[in-house]
Amino acid sequence: MQRTLESSFRQEYPGTFEILFAVEDPHDPAIAVVNELLTRYPKIAARILVGQDNVGINPKVNNMLKAFDQAQSDLLWICDSNVYTDPGTLRRSVDLMLDDRRIGVVHHVVFSESPDTLGAMLDNAFLVTNHCRMYLAINSFGVASCLMGKSNLYYKSALDSVGGLASFGQYLAEDNMIGQALWRSGWKHTMTGDLARQPTDIDSFSEYCRRRIRWVRVRKYNVTVATLYEPFTESIVLGLLTAWALHRLYALDIISTFSTFFSCWFALDMLFFYRINHGPPPSWLWFVVSWLCREVLALPLWIAAIFGNTVMWRGQKFRLHINGTVDVVK
């Protein structure tokens, strides 16, 4: 946590900025880490805001509202506490915002690192290949809003124009809903080449499965068409369809065709990871094993997510509604 929080203090930004740490619990051990950083960087305007405003079921929104209301600048960088960003991230993001006033949000692709359990390795394999690839592709073509709320720079006034931060407290995926609201209002989305690096924090295989099911199930109501199409962006489903089609058209052997397709997909994913990471993973063996497991699990987890309308999050059970809102299951 010290490394991730310190990255905010180390931003090489030519103008002035303030850092607001939003903490729900006055006994949160993160406060001690922040106080140490405040002592180490006395020239940077930073302070801790304790407590939350209960405007909905989303604990992140509830936690951020005090900081949102007290932020003095119209430019607002919302960055999760477990995210590390390079020192030039803020400067490059602000430059993009100021170059084109139609841009309402600058965001950064999430890159997972330092997995140390099987569940963490599976999540790492998902985030740094499939998720990262699709996230970059959708945003490069600009066909729709595709936003993950780990590290986003907004105009505070733009958020106010679509109802304000508090209005998104009724959703679990507030980042997605904010992005869609800004998109529909004509605000452009763009990205810098920076990564929002986060250490993986999944302890077990079952936790990984629950997380994937939870967020697919949430997306089912927020971005229905994209979620239903999702299996056709996966290597196994697409490979089987390709092998079947080429067998029907040209009598090619299904097993050989699928093996070739799957091997090429794997090679491209490895190349993609190497380019994004600027180097190899700590262990190619573990990365390959977790990648294979992730690919095999993709369709079963998607099916499990589609058939259901409740999720567990932070020890609480929620029921999802077709309009994207949720309520607590007593």
d(CA 24, CA 37): 19
| CA R_g for the chain | 21
CB-CB contact of 2 with 33 (8 Å): yes
- Distance from C-alpha of 323 to C-alpha of 27, rounded to nearest angstrom: 36
Active-site annotation holder among 175, 203, 253, 327: 175
Query: Angle of helix 205-222 relative to helix 118-125, nearest 10 degrees?
Result: 40
As a whole number of angstroms, the distance between CA 92 and CA 258 comes to 43
Catalytic residue check, 175: yes
Confirm if 150 and 230 have CB atoms less than 8 A apart: no
User: Strands, E, within the chain: which ranges?
Assistant: 18-23, 45-50, 75-79, 103-113, 151-155, 188-199, 310-313, 316-320, 326-328
The residue whose two tokens read 């733009």 is 158
Active site residues: 175
